[in-house]
């Protein structure tokens, strides 16, 4: 009898063990009660994360919700006049705040920046607009002393919140000339040298007079110096002699 009972006991024990394991298994058939190990983050994932953080900071800095109030982009665009069929170099384009607006007004836009992250961000934004608009926007990485324009390429240059950061401003303006068509205009928009609620520190700013002196030294003629249209900024328009 004992030799018959022993197999029965073994069978019962095995059945209980199987039942116990089944009760502790996951719904997907994974019988481990501990979560799977988290895979180590590879280099490419780390780069994506870092880039996303850079983009977030870039947009946060240049696309503040109140910018439309103090920058008055629609008013600025109206001062530029008709842009149909014209090529506009937006130097220091950043996130493309003005670049895409210029394209929507009919201009062919060369969006230029020295920051590779800004260029990459604009490329991403370009993919999100319609094909007609994409055809009007050319995005370029430039050097600090070279705007990366082809000879006699631009009808207009727009520099918004950029001019004060140029190292050798007069030399830059002279380098810029080769990329301008005859009669081309250059429009510089930057912060007045006085206390304002937003903008860079006062020691970083240039007065309207300083900008005018730079343009004259680079052999440009001043067409208009406007320090009233915008509350915090001046708009200087010039052309080559």
Q: What mean pLDDT do residues 26-35 have?
A: 34
Q: How many residues does the chain have?
A: 241
The alpha carbon of 9 is separated from its chain's Cα centroid by a whole number of angstroms, namely: 74
pLDDT of residue 1: 39
pLDDT in tens, 186-205: 999 999 999 999 999 999 99
Tokens of 105: 């007004």
Cα 38 from Cα 116, distance rounded (Å): 32
pLDDT of residue 55: 75
Give domain limits for the chain: 58-240
Residue 11 has pLDDT above 60, yes or no: no
Q: Which residues pair with 137 in a beta bridge?
A: 109
Residue 21 has pLDDT above 60, yes or no: no
pLDDT in tens, 79-94: 999 999 999 999 999 9
Q: Which residues pair with 238 in a beta bridge?
A: 186, 222
Model pTM score: 0.77
pLDDT in tens, 122-136: 999 999 999 999 999
DSSP codes joined into one string, the chain: -HHHHHHHHHHHHHHHHHHHHHHTS-TTS---SSPPPPPPPPHHHHHHHHHHHHHHHHHHHH--TTHHHHT-HHHHHHHH---TT-EEEEET-TTTTTHHHHHHTT-EEEEEES-HHHHHHHHHHHHTS-HHHHTTEEEEE-BTTB----TT-EEEEEEES-GGG-SSHHHHHHHHGGGEEEEEEEEEEEE-SS--SSSS-GGG---HHHHHHHHHHTTEEEEEEESSSSSSEEEEEEEE-
pLDDT of residue 50: 62
Q: Evaluate whether 222 touches 213 at the Cβ level (below 8 Å).
A: no
pLDDT in tens, 121-178: 999 999 999 999 999 999 999 999 999 999 999 999 999 999 999 999 999 999 999 9
pLDDT in tens, 216-238: 999 999 999 999 999 999 999 99
- Band the pLDDT of 56: cuts 50, 70, 90: confident
Tokens of 79: 């001062």
Pick the CATH number of 58-240 from 3.40.50.150, 3.10.20.340, 3.40.50.880, 1.10.150.120: 3.40.50.150
pLDDT of residue 22: 39
Beta strand 154-160 pairing with 180-191: parallel
**Better-predicted residue by pLDDT, 46 or 121:** 121
Residue 16 has pLDDT above 70, yes or no: no
Tokens of 23: 């009760």
């Amino acid at each position: 009898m004992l030799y018959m009972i022993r197999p029965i006991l073994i069978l019962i024990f095995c059945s209980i063990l199987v039942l116990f394991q089944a009760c502790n298994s996951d719904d997907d058939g994974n019988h481990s009660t501990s979560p799977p190990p988290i895979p180590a983050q590879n280099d490419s994932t780390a780069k994506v994360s870092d880039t996303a953080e850079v983009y977030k900071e870039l947009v946060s800095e240049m696309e503040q919700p109140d910018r439309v109030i103090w920058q008055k982009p629609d008013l600025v665009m109206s001062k530029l006049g008709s842009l149909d069929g014209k090529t506009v170099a937006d130097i220091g384009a950043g996130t493309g705040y003005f670049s895409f607006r210029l394209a929507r007004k009919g201009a062919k836009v060369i969006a230029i920046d020295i920051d590779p992250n800004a260029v990459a961000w604009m490329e991403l934004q370009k993919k999100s607009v319609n094909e007609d608009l994409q055809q009007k926007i050319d995005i370029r990485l430039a050097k600090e002393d070279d705007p990366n324009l082809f000879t006699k390429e631009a009808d207009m240059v727009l520099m918004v919140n950029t001019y004060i950061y140029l190292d050798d401003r007069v030399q830059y303006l002279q380098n810029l000339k080769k990329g301008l068509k005859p009669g081309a205009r250059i429009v510089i928009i930057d912060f007045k040298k006085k206390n304002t609620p937003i903008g860079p520190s006062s020691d970083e700013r240039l007065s309207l007079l300083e900008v005018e002196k730079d343009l004259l030294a680079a052999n440009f003629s001043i067409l208009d110096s406007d320090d009233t249209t915008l509350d915090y900024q001046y708009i200087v328009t010039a052309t080559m002699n």
